[in-house]
Structure 1
Amino acid sequence: MVDEGRKLFQEMKEEHALEPNADHYACIVDLLGRAGNLEEAYQIINSMPLEYDKVGAWSSLLGACRIHQNIQLGEISAKNLLELEPNVASHYVLLSNIYSSSGLWEKATEVRRNMKEMRVRKEPGCSWIELGDAVHKFSAGDVLHPQSKQLYCFLDNLFARIKKEGYVPDTSSVLHNVDEDEKENLLCGHSERLAMAFGLLNTPPGTTIRIAKNLRVCNDCHTATKFISKIVDREIIVRDVRRFHHFRDGTCSCGDYW
């Protein structure tokens, strides 16, 4: 509904005499960016009043550049964001991700090096699941949990099953210069997958699985969880930093838009 969104934004001023604020600009940039209209989104940011806070708009454009692999506008967005917020880890990480996904490993490493020199640290991904009176916490690649060996074995079998149903790993989510098999192994160690495996192994059939995560769910985990919800016939609820995702019978409540 890009045309409708663009029309509403224009009508604010033209028909209702309402001056769009910084949040409105960020919304229209997000709308256009997700749809791939990156150049138009960029021009809208340039048209914002000078006194407006542009962090939200630049963040939206940088995220869209990650989705659509636009390195040039991604670099421009990151440069502006880092001038405004030099100590925010997500700006460095997104730019590094854009480079990594395009195979520009040297540039990605340089961004990470700059991040380290600025003493900016990325929050590590963690997921939690409650069972009985205890909360079980998992981090990416976790091997400290008492059931770790069992969890990884279970995940290996589970992913073999969903591949037969049509699941194809999105290894662009793995931002390391390693071969494809190793990238798939790293994906299996994401914290929400370990929490999900723990829940599936330790609760009766039909029980709803509820997981909390401190970061945004990656694209591959989101796709995989849709397949898993169908083959295990369970509702899986994941609360990430953005929203609740209700996975049931191969679909998610967010409509794949988060």
Structure 2
Amino acid sequence: MYCRVGRLDEAHKLAKSIHVETPAEGALLWGTLLSASRLHGRVDIAQEASRRLIESNQQVAGAYVTLSNAYASTGEAKEEIVSLHSERLALAFALIVIPKGITIRVMKNLRMCKDCHEAFKAISGIVERDFIVRDVNRFHHFRDGSCSCGDFW
């Protein structure tokens, strides 16, 4: 109820004090707070709510999108949105939507960070699929847990 009437400080305090039994309960709690934070322009609370939601391993893609919308609606710095590792979000969506056997291609207008590069390598080995990523500098072809750039980019 606190979220519905815009009393986000109280809702945030209450959410932190509640012990959740299952990841699904945590996702419901933090997802509600995240949505309300976006609606009321409270990026500070949205950051923690999205982090907690992602930690619950539930609705991760939605958490990134909602947090991104919160930044956009309040005019926060572009760097905050970019730090969400958009290529990982694109990969997660592609793995859900694109049928097995089809190469996944991702285009990025910024340089791929080391964490994302390592994640793409690991995921390519786990799911046994090829990924091609075009960043600002070059193409990366991920296959069987390795990258065509030889980890030099």
TM-score, normalization by structure 2: 0.47
Whichever of the two has the greater Rg, that structure is 1
TM-score, normalization by structure 1: 0.29
Q: Which has the higher contact order (CA 8 A, sep 6+)?
A: 2
